[in-house]
Amino acid sequence: MAADPLFNPLTVGDLQVRNRVWMAPLTRCRSLLPGHVPWELNAAYYRERATAGLILSEATEIAQEGRGYPGVPGIFTAEQIAGWKKVTSAVHESGGTIVCQLWHVGRASHQAFQPDGKDPVAPSAIAAAGDVHLPDGSKAPYPVPRALEADELPGIVATYRTAAENAKAAGFDGVELHAANGYLIDEFLRNGANERTDEYGGSVENRCRFPLMVLDALIEVWGKGRVGIRVSPLGSFNDMADSNPLPLYTHLFGELQARGIAFLEIVGAIHGDDIDDDLLQKINAAGREAFSGTLALNGGYEGDDARTALREGQCDAITFGTTFLANPDLPKRLKEGADLNESNPATWYSRGPEGYVDYPSMDGGPVPRSDDPS
């Protein structure tokens, strides 16, 4: 029988990972309030999933200005750094590898989250359609954000740099730039949210300028071999679109190649997206052709289609989201062809251990801690 491609080890930049079953970044809203601090509950959750080849942490705020959800963790205070140390230690003690996904939500916020009730910021003063979930549990329409001035952007780059330094202090193995799903970096990339007429808008080169400035700052802190990026070229979440995504992302992928970063994660259909599959395949192929680092794909993959994607050379790894949420021992289940737990959407963003650390392993007992070859 041919070897299972999901379980071949992989070199990812400067990292060595045990398999190609990666845990996608999953917002869970379980940090300790009021400080948005990771704590023992989060450490238990990540420890259970440490048999992933690579864990991409949940999206993590680089500053309060980047917040748009209640209960999500940050990495800009001493308490948050100390909390993340509990998580990274738990993962490392269990033989796992974890990188921190750095996040600024941009326009996908509300004055209720912002310091002194200020307006959220974005590349352009264009509100996202839909509602934002507020700290008190109510909802409100997304407000019109304030368009950032060009001279403010170096300050945001510096905030990302500090967050990357904090991630290193917290014991992470690297960082992933969140450039997907309608948040600040994605908003600069795609012209549905970016109508600027200066050097940060218009052409694909201009729209990539600020995202690449941020990426360069992360490389300065971590080195290119421990930096990755997540993009969602066709995702509509948070009211996102682009008029011509293939040349945009082809250009971006070339810039990633020039920088030699460790990995690129391309997100397909999530949140019920109805996307153009042919166009997605062209974009994925452009990533494969232009970028020689590790390519990970995401978007509803299961065991068999993940294996097919790997065998055909479409990618080097698969990031699993909802299935990893509900199956802490997902690599073992995929390896043995076992049934999967179904996730409960009602508890995805709730506050306690229910639906977080109570999904059973295959034998109903604790998830194995260390040295599991899967």
The residues carrying an active-site annotation are: 183
* DSSP character string of 306-335: HHHHHHTTS-SEEEE-HHHHH-TTHHHHHH
CA distance 144 to 310: 42
Structure tokens at 209: 């300028």
Cα(142)–Cα(245) distance, integer angstroms: 25
DSSP string of 243-259? S-HHHHHHHHHHHHHHH
Q: Can you tell me the distance from the alpha carbon of 262 to that of 282, in angstroms, rounded to the nearest whole number?
A: 22
Q: How many CB atoms lie within 10 A of CB 63?
A: 18
Please list the residues that pair with 61 across neighbouring strands. Answer: 74, 103
Q: 3-class DSSP state for residue 57?
A: coil
> Distance from CA of residue 77 to its chain's centroid?
20
Q: Report how far residue 105's alpha carbon sits from residue 271's, in angstroms, rounded to the nearest whole number.
A: 17
Cβ–Cβ < 8 Å for 316, 294? yes
The C-alpha atoms of residue 211 and residue 142 are separated, in whole angstroms, by 23
Closest CA to 46 of 16, 102, 88: 88
**Among 271, 334, 273, 262, residue whose Cα is nearest residue 295:** 262
Q: How many helices (H) and strands (E) does the chain have?
A: 10, 15
221 contacts 162 by C-beta, under 8 angstroms: no
